[in-house]
Each structure stands twice: as structure tokens, then as C-alpha cells.
Structure 1
Amino acid sequence: MPQDAEFASLVDAPGFDRRSFIVTALGAGFALATQPVAAQTAIVTDAAGLVAGEVRVPVRDGQMVAYRAAPAGQQKLPVVLVVSEIFGVHEYIRDVCRRLAKLGYFAVAPELFARQGDPRSIDSIPDILARITGRTPDAQVMADLDACVAWAGAQGADAGRLGITGFCWGGRITWLYCAHNPAVRAGVAWYGRLVGAVNEFTPRHPADLTGELKAPVLGLYGGLDTGIPLDTVEAMESALKRGSPAARASEIHLYDNAPHAFHADYRPSYRREDAVDGWQRLLSWLRDKGV
């Protein structure tokens, strides 16, 4: 079935409740809050040889939009969940999925803010934090990621070889999911916050969960990241050494001269050398852990 026909059939499927989900399509391009895009550095990965595009993932209260990319005609591929920054599943996240698919992975990036709103349409980062990401419950996110794993398995992927990676907001979620799901084999967290305010939406943070990690995590952090103080990174490293077996197998790599979002090739924060090195570390980490 052509991708657009598949998309239409899913939207019109019984049980798809438009009232439950504000975001029902991903659109195209980059988030408004990330403009202007640094076109000279933004990486563009084509979809040749891939099955790539929007899908609907059944969740407990409807169907959630997601982006899926995988090598065409192949089954039993290892699964990698890709968790976005605060900007949602815009073009950068979709491109990361295609990069992974070109390497033989079944990559899925769910729009985890689907019930709260569309951060891609908002041009103010404070507004995104206040109206959307700050009101997205961790418990909801964990359940939605579980649903993505089940959906990938139903598509013929090998959900037993499961990895997760995420950026910024998604980096924090990567740590949390590796403490949540015992099926995960490996996680790679790009500059995910380790501590923070505790409330009904975010009752615990990665630093609280080192004793519960079920999969080893590779943390990739920037030494010049003003939003994630070095003392919290160092405290996390110490806590990992006292944590679960998976925590003790985890690692944090610090790029001394990198700012926050150094992998985001469409933004001024991009640092090519560190981003390339981090990507190679990600691939090695996943493969070494059987993903």
C-alpha cells in the first residue's frame, strides 16, 4: 500500500479518536522554535531503500502518530526507539530515524506530546516548556514507548533486540525507560537532564533511578552545557558505580568543549567532530549490547 494510502486508512480506522489527540499528523520541516535552520550543516538522509513515513501506533486511549523508518523488505530487524527533544518529531528526528534505518535498524520516533499539543508549531521555547513538555507525564511516556515496542514487534521487527536513544528531553526519557522496561538491551542518552523539580508529571529523575536501571546507558554530555551543570554529571557517574548491575555497566562520556545540543546539526550548537564521535559511540554501544 502506498504510504499516503496507508496513512489515510489509519486515520480513518475505527477507534481513532481525534478528541484524544491534538497532534494527528507530523507535517514536514523543522520546528518553529528552532528557526532559522543552519542549512549549511543540516544533514539530509534520503529514504531510498527504506520504508519511511508516518504511522499510527495503538495506545490505550487511541492511536498515536509516529515516524517509522526501516530497510524495505526485511524482517526481524532490531528496534531502536528515538525520543525527540522538546520540539517533537520534526525533520531532524525523522532524519535520525532514516540514518539508523540505513544501518539496518527498525527506528520508531513517537510524537510523545500528542495529547498535550504540537511543539513544532510554537515559536517560543518557554511556551513549549510551560504548555506542553512540562505537562507531559512520565508515566504516560513510558506507556507510549511500551506501545511502540509492541507495535514494532507486530510489524515483524525483533522487539527482543531493543535499544533506545534520545536527545535533550529525550535523553532524560532514555534514562527513565532503561529503568522501566527490562526488555531494553541498551540506551544512549544525549545530554539528558539528570536532576530536576519533582511534581505530579515528573516524580523522579535519572539520578534517582540508578539502583533500578535494567539496561546499560551511554550518556553523552557537553562540558559547556549551561543547562546541565558538571557537578550533576559527576554525581551521576558516582551514583552509577553504586547502582544496579546495569548502572555499573553504564558509561558517561564528556565532550569538554561541547555545548548543549551538540548533535543537533540544524542548530548553531552543532559541533561536527563531537557529533560524529558520539554517533560512532552510539553504534558501537548498541552493537556491543546485542541491538
Structure 2
Amino acid sequence: MNQTITLTASDGHTLSAYTAGPANAPRALVVVQEIFGVNHHIRTVADGFAAEGYRVIAPALFDRAQRGVELAYDQEGVQKGLDLRAAIPPEATLRDIVAAAHALRREPAHTGIIGYCWGGTIAWQAACRTDDFGAAIGWYGGGIAAERTLQPHCPVELHFGETDSAIPLSDIAAIRAAHPDLAIYTYPDAGHGFGCSERGSFNAPAAALARTRSLAFFDRLL
């Protein structure tokens, strides 16, 4: 059943979250938004994982700055998303991620996290700074290179577009050098946001392959 619920973080902050999938599913996922909020695309992503048999939750991370945010994929939406992201301390965002994980009521070994854009970076941070996940995946997380010295507490898989103007190949190389055993995939002719069918940068073959790899990763580990 798909619905919106309210979560409470450890500091007392309340936030909304979109949930999907069977309540009794043996495995669960936290889906982490881009800088455009828990919009139609993120709900569609959550529904897609729910159709694969996962209990899924997508927390509204912008609620700490502004509630009910759903931004368009245009320059105005980008700027608004960047402003909202800058208004929220990273440690507060992680508290909201942990609240989402706990709301799923699964053991960490059966709970995964996957994020896109800003959410890709958050998935990396959650894998390294919490013990709440059995596996983590980041799609085109632009902030991962800057935090590549962090050590993940669970297996991590990363996906990047080779023509992503926001994430140069040198950043991907730096992550590989810091974590030579990490599963990192790159996709030719794929730019930033290649996995979102509502963006001009959508690359259907790359998105399909990355999704197949992501599902196989979670299937193996959760």
C-alpha cells in the first residue's frame, strides 16, 4: 500500500515520508531524493522497488527547511533545491535517514539504501556514518569524491555517467583510488541524472543497466 506517513528523528524533528510495498516484505529500502524533493519521479522509483518485493520509504529531507517541496527539473528548480540543501546541516539529514531506516522495522542486514544525485551522496554518508544498512547504492552522487576517505560499514555500489559535467572523471578516479575494491560502474554518453526519465539527460539504456545491477546487488546482499 502506498501512503504518506510521519517520522520523528532523534532530535524531535518530524518529517513526512512516502512509503510503498508490502508491509510484511522481508527486505526494505530507503530511497533518497534528488535536490528536487520527494516528487513524482522519486515516488515512481519507490513504487518500482516495491514492485520487486521491497518495503520502501522515501523521507522528505527538505522538511527541515520547507515542507511539501516538489521541484521541477528546470533551472529555477535546481537553484531552489540547492538553496534548501544548503539550509540543512548534513548531520540533521542523517538523523532523518536513520529515522526512515528505523521506521522500516527491519534488521540492518535486510535494509538497504539507494540515493540519486544529492541522495547518492547521502547514501554514501549513511553507509559510512551509521550502522543501519546492509548495503548501499549511490547514483551520480556529486559529493562522494570529497568524502572518499570515509570507510563504509557495509557493501557499497556506485554508478556514474561518463559525460556528467557535475562529476568529472577525475573525481571517479579518485574514489576508485581510495577504494579499489568498491563496485563502481560508469556509463558512456550518460550525463548527470541519466536515470530520471523526466530529465533531459535521461539515458534509457544506461538507466536500465544501472537498475539491473542495483537490483542484483541488493538481491545478493539483503
Using the size of structure 1 for normalisation, the TM-score is 0.71
Please name the residue that 2:4 is paired with.
Answer: 54
Please name the residue that 1:236 is paired with.
Answer: 175
d(CA) in 2 for partners of 1:92 and 1:267?
A: 10
2:59 pairs with 1:120: no
Alpha-carbon deviation of 1:206? 2.9
The amino acid across from 1:111 in the alignment is A
Give the aligned length.
Answer: 217
Alpha-carbon deviation of 1:252? 0.7
The amino acid across from 2:16 in the alignment is V
2:5 pairs with 1:66: no
Q: Secondary structure at the match of 2:21?
A: strand
Query: Is the contact between residue 124 and residue 144 of structure 2 (CA under 8 Å) also seen in structure 1?
Result: no
d(CA) in 1 for partners of 2:38 and 2:80?
A: 17
Please name the residue that 2:55 is paired with.
Answer: 106
CA deviation map 1:102-136 (0-9, x unaligned):
11101100001101125425744223312x11122
The amino acid across from 1:277 in the alignment is L
d(CA) in 1 for partners of 2:56 and 2:2?
A: 9
Please state which structure has a larger fraction of its residues in helix. 2
Please name the residue that 2:111 is paired with.
Answer: 162
Please name the residue that 1:263 is paired with.
Answer: 195
Query: Is the contact between residue 71 and residue 81 of structure 2 (CA under 8 Å) also seen in structure 1?
Result: no
Structure number with larger C-alpha Rg: 1
Aligned match of 1:220 in 159, 162, 175?
159
Alpha-carbon deviation of 1:225? 0.2
Structure 1 residue ranges without an equivalent (≥5): 1-50, 197-204, 242-247
CA deviation map 1:175-214 (0-9, x unaligned):
1100022231111100001457xxxxxxxx43131xx211
Residue 176 and residue 264 in structure 1: after superposition, are their counterparts in 2 closer, same or farther (change >3 A)?
same
RMSD: 1.7
Please name the residue that 2:205 is paired with.
Answer: 273
Query: Is the contact between residue 194 and residue 236 of structure 1 (CA under 8 Å) also seen in structure 2?
Result: no
2:160 pairs with 1:208: no
